Structure 1
Amino acid sequence: MSTFKITLHQACLARIDQSIAAATQAMEDAQNSANQETKSSVGDKYETGRAMMQLEKDKFAQQLAQSQELRLQLEQLNPSNGYSSSIQLGSLLRSNEGYYYLAVSLGKIMHEGKAVYVLSAAAPLGQVLLGKKVGDKIQFQGRRIEILELW
């Protein structure tokens, strides 16, 4: 399962890289649109158009910054690290509900035919899972989750 964890980690990095590329492209598109905006006889329309393009560019810049921060956080984790007896940041676990990778907040990823929920240690479920061991059972939002395996 350690190779699964390593390739999952790489898939998470690739997903973040896609977000970074999409945000970068969207920022460039917004800038190009703003540059294409020509001054018309109605000056207010020109200024409104440019202001809207700047807002779009700012929104994508924020998305880019968030994705870059996620990538930095994920890069700090070593998926090859040895076995730990309790769940910590970087742990991959199998429960009665499926697989969870405690890394950064990416949501559900399909990897090698398995659904893996990639979540942050700061997420409510991540906080509950921290420190738990194989065999532990937790209650979370009315669900009973049992930790079956840990890598």
Structure 2
Amino acid sequence: MHRLIIDRLAHDLSVLSHAAKTAHEAAIHEENIPDNKYDTLSLEASYVAQGQANRAQELKHALQTYRHLALQPFGEGDSIRLTALVTLQDEEGTTKTFFIGPQEGGLKLQLDGEEILVITAASPLGSQLIGKTLGDEVELGGNSYEITDLS
């Protein structure tokens, strides 16, 4: 899971860096020099470039954080904490799996055909899960889920 997150962040950073460079080039291209005060194409391109550059910096920081992240071992009876891979199951048998990471909550990944959602400890679900153990219950979207796996 850890390697998947790092690979995905590296890929996203590469794509976003390229997009930011392209937007920057569009902002300074001679064809986009404004003809009048109402011609804002260059200005809009510069806003896009700045936004993409800011997001690229966030991704770079997250990538560095995950590269230096020490995975915690989990055994029977351990409490959920950072780096836990947690599976929840509702009464109908539907399961959802989450990785509790330090950043990039909302990132969705596939592991062995199963969707894993990265959440942070500060998220509503993450704060519910921290400190819980196998067999405990949490509320998610108005439904009750039991913690059925922790690794």
Shorter-chain TM-score range: 0.7 to 0.9
- In the TM superposition, residue 99 of structure 1 has moved relative to its aligned partner by 1.5
Distance 1:83 1:98, change over 3 A: same
Partner of 2:79, secondary structure, is coil
- Report the residue type matching 2:135 in the other structure: G
Tell me if structure 2 keeps the 8 A contact 1:37–1:49.
no
For 1:33, the equivalent position in structure 2 comes to 26
* In the alignment, structure 1 residue 57 sits paired with structure 2 residue 55: no
* In the alignment, structure 1 residue 129 sits paired with structure 2 residue 122: no
Distance 1:10 1:58, change over 3 A: same
- In the TM superposition, residue 141 of structure 1 has moved relative to its aligned partner by 3.1
- In the TM superposition, residue 37 of structure 1 has moved relative to its aligned partner by 2.6
For 2:92, the equivalent position in structure 1 comes to none
Moved more, 101-110 or 112-121: 101-110
Structure ranking higher in helix proportion: 1
- In the TM superposition, residue 148 of structure 1 has moved relative to its aligned partner by 1.1
Distance 1:139 1:35, change over 3 A: closer
* In the alignment, structure 1 residue 101 sits paired with structure 2 residue 93: no
Distance 1:40 1:28, change over 3 A: closer
Aligned-pair identity (%): 21
Tell me if structure 2 keeps the 8 A contact 1:27–1:57.
yes
TM-score with structure 2 setting the length? 0.82
Which structure 1 residue ranges, 5 or more long, are not aligned? 1-7
What CA distance in whole angstroms lies between the structure 2 residues aligned with 1:121 and 1:16? 19
Partner of 1:38, secondary structure, is helix
Tell me if structure 2 keeps the 8 A contact 1:138–1:145.
yes
Give deviations 1:15-71, integer Å, cap 9, x for gaps: 11122112110111012212323377934466x332122111111012112212322
Give deviations 1:101-148, integer Å, cap 9, x for gaps: 111314321112111121111111011000000111122331111111
